[in-house]
Structure 1
Amino acid sequence: MNPPIALTIATSDPSGGAGIQADLKTFSALGAYGTAVLVALTAQNTHGVTGVHVVPTAFITQQLETLVADVSVDAVKIGMLANAEVVNTVADFLERHRPPSVVLDPVMVATSGDRLLDASAVRDLRDRLLPLADLVTPNLPEAAALLETEPAREDEEIIRQADALRELGVARVLLKGGHRVESAESADYYVDGDVSRWLRAPRVDTTHTHGTGCTLSSAIAALRPRRPDWLSAIEDAKRYVTQSLRAADAVKVGSGHGPVHHFHAWWR
């Protein structure tokens, strides 16, 4: 056994459906060894977030530097970063240490509607962190916030916004279309310098969608070291998330937006 080592830099979710907990479950399910650096803690359940406690940035840096002094990281997934100080701390780290693969999930708002990133941090995330990522995975509201525009509704708008995000300096964009609830499909759009592709799957009828974005981005990070290119890792990650959603109703956690079933292939 020589599994790839994946690092999640993100926030804790006590309910286990999103954040660090979802990332580590996804890494394990897809055969990657998970490591984690916490940048914030939340008070959270399946109904929403009631509080956020940010880790001091000096200690975030100490966690990161201590880890990479000993452990060779193959892929990094970046999730909720809470505020501008944390965004810049992570950007500083990536400028000092360049992992082979960096997936940035620009988490701004929870499934419940709770805001998870200070408005003042959006500019730093856009200007400093996006150019350091190999892939950014915003949903439609997050892409609109980064571009200071309205969320895309039509395919043509999604394509234009994905291209606009690439013009900000990010190498690859996966613009997630799951918020178009009127559509029978969950259609995501991928673009890099050479390839553009729609990735479509039937929309799964479930309210157990907590942590879907965290799970997709961490699945891509886990799979990328063992796939020939980014697109194949993304396609396999999307299939994993779709299957996790289809099995989600079997996991009874809380009374709100429950989690996807990260271990659907193993638990019977």
Structure 2
Amino acid sequence: MEELSGGRKSAIYRCGDVVYRPLQPWSPTIHQLLKHLEHSNLHQCPRFIGVKENQEILSFIAGDTYNYPLVGAITSAEALTSAAKLLRKIHDATASLLSQMDLSKQQWMLEPKEPFEVVCHGDFTPYNVALSKNLVVGVFDFDTAHPAPRVWDLAYSVYCWSPFKTHSLDKLGSIKEQVARAKLFCDSYGATAPEREQLTDIMVARLHALIAFMRKEAENGNEFFIADIEQGHLQSYLKDIEYISINKQKIQLAVCNK
């Protein structure tokens, strides 16, 4: 077996065309989501195959993968455009799933946020997609999926793909280039005027929610998040919030076509 990167607590392994991942308390909910996406002909997402002991078995999403610092095909306009279109497809497909779910009985890794419009991926970022040349052809790691407004997912994705990051290893380009990428992502997704108008505020709110989640998990003894905080990731998010707030007008003028 080949060990894959990206696991939060335990190792993830690939054997041929299948992936073995550790089961989590929210896994049954995610399996229901993946089955729905499969039935919706969204073949860019992992297919749920089954459970074996303490592991879930999913189909492997083939393609080139990337992480920060972003270099190469992942930085192309084609990658960004195709990513935004795939996110829109996932959102559109999951809108009907919410009416079939009893949300009070479902468990999620991240807390659901009203109004429930779609099931958000929760971490639709450059390191969770697969590319063929310059095109995004797949997305994986649905553990963070949860019901929320479309813009909740859209804002975090724009933050990560632009990216509005300040750490030397994460940032890419000037603020002018970043806002242009943000606009392209919104245009490709088909964001509405109200979604664009609140995008920057939602980015900040989404990062504050992430920080609160990290702190809660660390206080509960989660070693992964304890290490994340010790390595300065939480502090980086706080700096990013400040960066987004300082550049709010530039971002909003661009994404709102003003």
Query: TM-score range with shorter-chain normalisation?
Result: 0.3 to 0.5
Normalized per residue, the structure richer in strand is 1
Higher relative contact order (CA 8 A, sep 6+): 1
Query: TM-score normalized by structure 2?
Result: 0.33
Query: TM-score normalized by structure 1?
Result: 0.32
Normalized per residue, the structure richer in helix is 2
